[in-house]
Amino acid sequence: MLLAFQGAVAQGVLWGIMVLGVYITFRLLDIADLTVDGSFALGGCVCAVLIVERGVNPLLGLVAGLLVGVVAGAVTGLLNTLFDIPAILAGILTQIGLWSVNLRIMGKANIPLLKNPNIFTGFAKAAGLPQNLATIIIGGIVAASLVAILYWFFGTEIGSALRATGNNEHMVRALGVDTRVTKLIALMVSNGLVGLSGALVCQSQKYADVGMGTGAIIVGLAAIVIGEVLGRLMPGKLRSFSSRLIAAVVGSIVYFLIRAIVLQLGLDPNDMKLLSAIIVALALSVPVVWERQQLRASYLKGGEA
């Protein structure tokens, strides 16, 4: 039982890096980027092939996962900005295309990494820690560094312009920034994180599968809304940018804990996707309904406020 929860936290941290990527497109750029399902699997597949077939250092495998994710994001970004294909459709096109690309890269539907070295077993052995704990520590360090890097990046001149692009494109162009470039950068950074996350998950679960990214975007959105709800429940000001990034990773951990609990309760793992979709749908619709209700309730018949 405890082992299952440890495993859930470990998974949550690694997937949390993908959630940071989704946060950039969904909350900062204000688009739902469906490339994610494809770029997550792409990162995992490339990492697996490099380690198993080329004997590449697992650390380099992670870098490769990140880089191919950046390329996938660039494809979506170029489709969107150069040819005005709506972002959601551009993402779907890249995602669908990547399915075939991933199969080509692996040459089969999945690759096991059981006997190959990976960063988690390496660290666990060296430090004498159980596998799950080693995964949590490494994942935590990577996630914390990425939160710090993203906090810095979005505070720079380019990062500010990028945040403003999701807010008010007209203004950003009027201030001399090419919004095509900012969107492209955002999609590349976002999918780079997603690819890195895919490579990390691949090493931690010791296999890569062409379907490992299916539904990743829903996991990402669910984690973001869970994180935001938790952030609102916390006392004090959790509105700063860094705390919102941290909340995204925490949301991912909580998501995988919930998942572990319902699986322990005997839920069919295949139903997990339905549950995720319901969580996201609820989280997105509850605030809307609540606000509408508040507006209705604030109506006074006599007109005397």
Partner 1 sequence: MLTLNNVRKTFNRGTVNEKVALAGISLHLDRGEFVTVIGGNGAGKSTMLNSIAGVFPIDSGTIVLGGDDISRLPEHARAKYLGRVFQDPMRGTAADMQIDENLAMAARRGKTRTLRWGITKAEHESYASELAKLGLGLETRLSDKVGLLSGGQRQALTLLMATLQRPDLLLLDEHTAALDPKTAAKVLELTEQIVIEEGLTTLMVTHNMHDAIRLGNRLIMMADGKVIYDVRGEEKAHLHRADLMAKFEEAAGEEFSNDRMLLG
Interface residue list for partner 1 (CB under 8 A): 153, 155-161, 163-164, 167-168, 170-179
Degrees, nearest 5: CA angle 206-209-211: 140
Question: Is the distance from CB of 43 to CB of 159 less than 8 angstroms?
Answer: no
**Which pairing describes strands 110-112 and 207-209: parallel, antiparallel, or unpaired?**
antiparallel
Q: Find the shortest distance in angstroms from Cβ 157 to partner 1.
A: 4
Alpha carbon of residue 188 to chain centroid = 13
Q: Of 5 and 153, which CB lies nearer to partner 1 in the complex structure?
A: 153
Q: Find the shortest distance in angstroms from Cβ 85 to partner 1.
A: 19
Amino acid identity of 243?
S
Q: Find the shortest distance in angstroms from Cβ 278 to partner 1.
A: 28
Question: Is the distance from CB of 242 to CB of 300 less than 8 angstroms?
Answer: no
Q: Find the shortest distance in angstroms from Cβ 166 to partner 1.
A: 8
Question: Is the distance from CB of 70 to CB of 64 less than 8 angstroms?
Answer: no
Degrees, nearest 5: CA angle 143-146-152: 145
Nearest to 19 by CA among 227, 165, 183: 227
Q: Of 164 and 283, which CB lies nearer to partner 1 in the complex structure?
A: 164
**With b meaning 16 or more CB within 10 Å and e meaning fewer, what string describes 74-102?**
bbbbbbbbeeebebeebbbbbbeebbebb
Q: Of 73 and 159, which CB lies nearer to partner 1 in the complex structure?
A: 159
Q: Find the shortest distance in angstroms from Cβ 88 to partner 1.
A: 21
What is the phi/psi pair of residue 111, to 5°? -130, 120
Q: Of 11 and 179, which CB lies nearer to partner 1 in the complex structure?
A: 179
Q: Find the shortest distance in angstroms from Cβ 158 to partner 1.
A: 5
Q: Which two tokens stand for residue 178?
A: 């090419």
Q: Of 145 and 168, which CB lies nearer to partner 1 in the complex structure?
A: 168
Q: Of 77 and 198, which CB lies nearer to partner 1 in the complex structure?
A: 77
Q: Of 82 and 175, which CB lies nearer to partner 1 in the complex structure?
A: 175
Q: Find the shortest distance in angstroms from Cβ 254 to partner 1.
A: 25
DSSP state of 208: E
DSSP state of 215: T
